Structure 1
C-alpha cells in the first residue's frame, strides 16, 4: 500500500500543469514538447491513411482561415497545420500539438467561410484545451494503477488511447467546451459566432439523413463527431455558449465569405474519387487500374485500399475482389497454386463467359461466415491478377453462379466507363427563375436520393427552393 501511495503521488505530481484555457491546474502526464512530438509523430500516419486532397489552392485557403482563428486562440504560439484529407467521410479532427484535419466530405455540406471557420475553430478548441492530452493522461494513470494491482507493465500508444476520440468525439462536456472556444475564436477573428450554431444545424440534418440511409444500406454512417444528440435550435447549452461568445466580437459587420468559399469549392470531388475507384449503381470503376466490374443489383459495394467487397441485401453472401501486380509469367491456375497456396481445390474450371485468361476452383477457407467452402477465381488483365473470393452463409451452390458472374464481368474500361470512373464533382452555378431541387436532381448523375443530397449540400433540407440569382451547388 505504501508503494501504491508513493507511485500515485509521483504520477499526480508529475501531472500538475496549468490549463491554457482556464488557467486552473490540470492533471496531464505530457509536457507541451511531448504533446507536440505526439502530433508530429502521428501526422504522417494520418496523411498516409487518408491522403491529402490534391488542390493546392483549397489547401492554402483552409490554412489561411485556420491561422486567422489560431492567432486569436489561447495558444497562439503553437504553429498550427491544417490539412484537407481526400476522404468522402464527413469529419474533422485534431492531433495534439496543432495538427488539424478536415475532410473534403464535410466541406461539401458547408455554406460559407464562416461555417468553415466554425468547424476549424471547434477543432482548435480541442487543441487549446488539451482534450486529447487529458484523455491520454487519464487512460495512462488508470493503466498505471491497474499495473500496480496486477503487477504487470503498462504501455499505451496514442491511437490505442485517444484514437477513437479523434474520430468519434471526446464526450458531451469536451465537445461543448470546444464549441464555446470555437465560437469565441470566431468572434475574435471577425466572424459571427452564430456560425457555430448554423454549421451544427447543417451537420445535424446531414447526420439524421445519413443515419437513415446507412441503416437502409446496412453500413456505418459517415457523420461528424461534434454534432450533439439534439438539433441546435433545441440545445439550450449550445445557445448559451454562443451567446456568451458575442461579447468578444470585434466588428459590427462580421465576415461571412460565402462567395469566396463557394469559389474554392467549385470542382470539389464528391463521394468516391477516381484515385481510389468509383462506385456507380452496382458497378465499380477504377480509372488508374483501367478496369470495371459489376456486382448483382441490390448488393452493397464497399471499397477499401486493399479490396472491393460486396454483400447481398441480407448479408448472406459476399464477394471480395483483390488485385496484385504480376511479376512472373504463368497461368491463372499457376497463380492460384503458387501465390494463393491453394493446393487442394475442387470443381476447377475457367471462369465461364470471359475472354480473359482465368481459372477458378472451390477451396476450404476462412470467410465472414466462418470456415467453409468458397469459390476462388483468378482473372488476368494486363500485368495484374484479379482474385475473387466468394462465399455464402448457406450452401455455396445457391450463390456460386452469381460469384462466377461477378468474376466474368471484369473488363477494361470503355470510353463511357472512363467518364464514369472520373467520379462526381460539385459545381457552383447561378440559380435560374424556374430552378427547383427536384428539377436539378433529375439532371444529376447521383443515382440515389439525389434531391435530398442537393438539399443537404445547399442547406435547404428538408424543404426550400433555390432563389433566382443565388449561387447553388449541383453535382455533375
Structure 2
C-alpha cells in the first residue's frame, strides 16, 4: 500500500500535468463567450456603483478618449464600450468583451486628458491581452484540481468532504482573487505603448500612478483606506518606475514635431463643477456629521470616528475597536421605539435594558446589552409612522464607558431637518481656479470645503508635493461648496 502522501500526490500530478500542457496563455473561453459575459454583468456593475453618471458633456469627453485609445490598441477591431460610474471612489476596470468603467472619483483625481487615457489604455489592455479569459481558464483548472484533491483527501486521508472543500476553496480564491502581478505589469506596458500610439505623452501613465500614490497616502492618513484601484494592483513605486522606463523607451511609428499634447486644459475645463465625494442623493459626509437633504435628517459622531457612506447604511469606526452602524428600518405602524428594540431588534434571548427617550422632539428608546464579549447600545428614533432610525454602537466589553459617552454624542447630534434647512445643503464640487500672484498654499487651502486636512487634499488632488512653488497662471483644482 502506498503511503498517504504518495496516494495524494500521484493523482494531483496527473491533473496538474494535464492542465499545464495548455500553457500559461491558453484559454478555454471564446471571444464570443467574453462578449456575452461582459453584457450579462454590465447592468449589475452599473447598479453596484450607484448608476451611470448623467452629465452628457463628461460622457462625450470620456467616450472620445476611449475611441482614440481603441483605435491605437492591439485590437482595434473589438467593440468597446465605456461607462462613467457615479461613484466617489477612485477606480477603473474592464470586463471581458470590452466593457470598460471609470468612476467620477477617478476623473476628479486625473490632472489631464492623457492621464485619463493612460488609465483607459491600461484597462483595455486587460481585454486585448485576454487576461479575463486566462483567469477563467485558471479558475477552471483550479476547479479540476479541487475535484481531484477533494476526492483524494476524502478517500485516502480520511478528511470530512465538506472540510476538504472549504480548504480547497480558500486556497483557490487566494490565488484567483485578481489579475496576477505579471498580468498587471503586462497591462501597464501595453497601456504605455497604446498611449503613445494614440498621440498622448506616454509618460502620462506614470504621472497618474504618482498622483494615485499621493492620494492613497492622503486617504490612509485619514484611516479611510486606499483607493479601490490601488487595492487590486501591485505597489505603486515599482509601477511608476516601470512606467517611466517604458515611456522613455517608446518610439512613435510616425515621429511628430513639437511633442504630444497632454490635454490638461481640456480635462480641467470638463471636470470644473464635477461633484466631489458622495452623491447628494445618497447623503453627504461633512467631517464628523452625516446629512441627508432628501430624507431630511442629520446626525454627528464623536471626534476620531471615521464615517463611511454606503447606499443602504452609514458606518463609523474608531481605532479603539468601537463601531457604529446607522440605517432606516421598517416597523409596524405606530410601534413604539421601546417595543421595537425588545421585539424586533435585540437578539433573541438576550437580556436588554431598554429606556424610553426623546431625541430632537421625537419618541425614541435606548437599549443596552452585553453579548459575545461586546458591549452594545441600540438607539431607535421614530422617523415616520412606518420607519425608524437605528443606531447600533458596538464596543469591546471593557470600553462600555467610552461607548456610553459616544452614544450620548450621537443622540445630541440627531436632527430632523426642515425643508428650508435641507434646501441649503449643497454637494461639494471641483472648482478649477487660476493661481494669482498673491496666492499661497495656505490661502488656497482656506478656500477648500473640507473641514480638516485641507492642505493635504489640495496637494493630493493636484499631484503636488512640498515644498510647493505656485506659479501665477497655473490652473489648480479646489473642492468647494
User: TM-score, length-normalised on structure 2?
Assistant: 0.83
Question: Which position in structure 2 is the counterpart of 1:19?
Answer: none
Question: Which position in structure 2 is the counterpart of 1:177?
Answer: 186
Say which SS state the counterpart of residue 58 (structure 1) adopts.
Answer: helix
Say which SS state the counterpart of residue 230 (structure 1) adopts.
Answer: helix
Question: Which position in structure 2 is the counterpart of 1:381?
Answer: 383
Higher percent of residues as helix:
2
Mark the CA change 1:124 to 1:346 in structure 2 (over 3 Å): closer, same or farther.
closer
Is residue 454–residue 473 contact of structure 1 (8 Å, CA) maintained in 2? yes
State the distance in 2 between where 1:134 and 1:375 align: 49
User: How far is 1:222 from its partner?
Assistant: 2.0
Among residues 266, 273, 276, which one is paired with 2:279 in the alignment?
A: 273
State the distance in 2 between where 1:208 and 1:405 align: 30
State the distance in 2 between where 1:433 and 1:356 align: 53
User: How far is 1:119 from its partner?
Assistant: 0.8
State the distance in 1 between where 2:254 and 2:206 align: 16
Mapping 1:195-234, distance limit 5 Å: 195-211=204-220, 213-214=221-222, 217=223, 219-222=224-227, 224-225=229-230, 226=233, 228-230=235-237
State the distance in 2 between where 1:312 and 1:26 align: 46
Mark the CA change 1:170 to 1:268 in structure 2 (over 3 Å): closer, same or farther.
farther
Mapping 1:225-244, distance limit 5 Å: 225=230, 226=233, 228-230=235-237, 235=241, 237-244=242-249
State the distance in 1 between where 2:284 and 2:176 align: 28
1:458 and 2:462 aligned:
yes
Cα shift readout 1:109-131 (whole Å, capped 9, x = no counterpart): 21111111111111111111112
Is residue 392–residue 399 contact of structure 1 (8 Å, CA) maintained in 2? yes
User: How far is 1:469 from its partner?
Assistant: 2.3
Cα shift readout 1:310-353 (whole Å, capped 9, x = no counterpart): 233422x3322111245623322343345436676543222355
Q: Which structure 1 residue ranges, 5 or more long, are not aligned?
A: 17-24
Say which SS state the counterpart of residue 123 (structure 2) adopts.
Answer: helix
Question: Which position in structure 1 is the counterpart of 2:81?
Answer: 81
State the distance in 1 between where 2:10 and 2:317 align: 58
1:41 and 2:40 aligned:
yes
Mark the CA change 1:26 to 1:358 in structure 2 (over 3 Å): closer, same or farther.
same
Cα shift readout 1:279-322 (whole Å, capped 9, x = no counterpart): 1121111122111001112222222223222233422x332211
State the distance in 2 between where 1:439 and 1:349 align: 49
State the distance in 2 between where 1:312 and 1:176 align: 36
Say which SS state the counterpart of residue 72 (structure 2) adopts.
Answer: coil
State the distance in 1 between where 2:140 and 2:384 align: 51
State the distance in 1 between where 2:471 and 2:309 align: 37
Task: Name the Cα RMSD after superposition.
Answer: 3.2
Is residue 188–residue 250 contact of structure 1 (8 Å, CA) maintained in 2? no
Question: Which position in structure 1 is the counterpart of 2:302?
Answer: 296
Question: Which position in structure 2 is the counterpart of 1:22?
Answer: none
Mark the CA change 1:377 to 1:2 in structure 2 (over 3 Å): closer, same or farther.
closer
Cα shift readout 1:71-115 (whole Å, capped 9, x = no counterpart): 221222221111122222222111111111112222222111111
State the distance in 2 between where 1:411 and 1:210 align: 29
Is residue 357–residue 379 contact of structure 1 (8 Å, CA) maintained in 2? yes
User: How far is 1:11 from its partner?
Assistant: 5.5
